Amino acid sequence: MAQILDGKAHADRMLAEVKRGVEARVASGKRPPCLAVVLVGDDPASQVYVRGKVKACQETGITSVEHRLSADASQEEVNGLIDRLNADAGVDGILVQLPLPKGLDSKEALHRIAPPKDVDGFHPLNQGLLLEGLPGLRPCTPSAVMNMLKAYGLELKGQRAVVLGRSEIVGKPMALMLLEEHATVTIAHSRTKDLPAVCREADLLVAAVGRPGLVEGSWIKPGAVVVDVGINRVEDLELATRIFAKEPKKLETLKAKGGVLCGDVRFGEAMEVARAVTPVPGGVGPLTIAGLMMNTLQASV
């Protein structure tokens, strides 16, 4: 049986470290770091994520200020709010929760955030610094995953890493961070030929595609480390019966509640082949928020 990489426990350690950093800053006579969270519209998932971020701020002593705009807000209103937050010396970090409602250009909004306040690490300047291997604000999910892999003492140098997914939020920055640690990195995606064979090469497999249960046990090299970034809600019983063959409890939860959360990897199958696996929930999700708190502290220095 594989080891479970406890993302929640590691996130708690990261949050404790941020809290100590905030306390040291306040002890030196400065105000606490301040994160401005911009939420446009009323997407239920985004509301849940924003609540999680605000709660983590409270736990670490970071001040959070929520700015809500209605779903029919114009691009000018969003841009104007970002401009005001950029100019506000009392704000250290700005987070625009994605996705934005239809009709709004998220790239335009993200590019408008002042790079030193870009705690998501999505601004082209911060992405460029990452590409060059220079310090800057880095995307929260991959940087927190790296933080956890190092804390577990997992060797990356010379290892074959396969990143499944090429998003700007996770896949691409994850690949760059693994490369920086001297892994041999492949980015695979929906058009990759013979995806199972490519995945089977991986000593470290990072799945970030948002496809529930895509990665089967047979895709995993025996003894590999598997990081599952996907957070998907499954409601379809036929799909669930296939992907939860080794997780009867998940199937029961779906039948009882009408839906269940799962990752991109078939966790039960992975547990039989891999050396270590992150669960969903309780794996990468809490790490992302901890990464955001780290970035907000960093942005305040």
Contacting positions for ligand GUN (CB under 6 A): 95-98, 120, 140, 169
CB of 145 to ligand GUN, least distance (A): 12
Identity of the residue, 96 or 284, whose beta carbon is nearer to ligand GUN in the bound complex: 96
117 belongs to the catalytic site: no
In the set 53, 117, 221, 250, the catalytic residue is 53
The answer to whether the CB of 265 falls within 8 A of the CB of 276 is: no
Identity of the residue, 52 or 259, whose beta carbon is nearer to ligand GUN in the bound complex: 52
CB of 257 to ligand GUN, least distance (A): 23
CB of 24 to ligand GUN, least distance (A): 27
Q: Which residue has the tokens 């990452």?
A: 130
97 belongs to the catalytic site: yes
Identity of the residue, 217 or 286, whose beta carbon is nearer to ligand GUN in the bound complex: 286
Identity of the residue, 64 or 159, whose beta carbon is nearer to ligand GUN in the bound complex: 64
| Residues 6+ away with beta carbon under 8 Å from 29 | none
The answer to whether the CB of 78 falls within 8 A of the CB of 38 is: yes
- Which amino acid is present at 299? A
Backbone torsions φ then ψ of 285, nearest 5 degrees:
-50, -55
The answer to whether the CB of 270 falls within 8 A of the CB of 2 is: yes
In the set 97, 127, 159, 298, the catalytic residue is 97
In the set 92, 118, 120, 228, the catalytic residue is 120
**Residue with the shortest CB distance to ligand GUN:** 98
CB of 106 to ligand GUN, least distance (A): 9
Q: Is the peptide bond before 142 cis (omega within 30 degrees of 0)?
A: no
Identity of the residue, 163 or 270, whose beta carbon is nearer to ligand GUN in the bound complex: 163
The DSSP secondary structure of 83-147, one letter per residue, reads HHHHH-TT--EEEE-SSPPTT--HHHHHHHS-GGGBTT--SHHHHHHHHTT--S---HHHHHHHH
Look up residue 299 and give its two tokens: 């942005």
236 belongs to the catalytic site: no
For 228, the 3-state DSSP assignment is strand
Q: Is the Cα dihedral 84, 119, 30, 66 positive or negative?
A: positive
Angle ∠(191,196,201) on CA atoms, nearest 5: 110
The answer to whether the CB of 137 falls within 8 A of the CB of 291 is: no
Identity of the residue, 140 or 163, whose beta carbon is nearer to ligand GUN in the bound complex: 140
Look up residue 170 and give its DSSP letter: T
The answer to whether the CB of 183 falls within 8 A of the CB of 158 is: yes
Q: Which residues pair with 187 in a beta bridge?
A: 163
CB of 141 to ligand GUN, least distance (A): 6
CB of 45 to ligand GUN, least distance (A): 8
Catalytic residues: 53, 97, 120
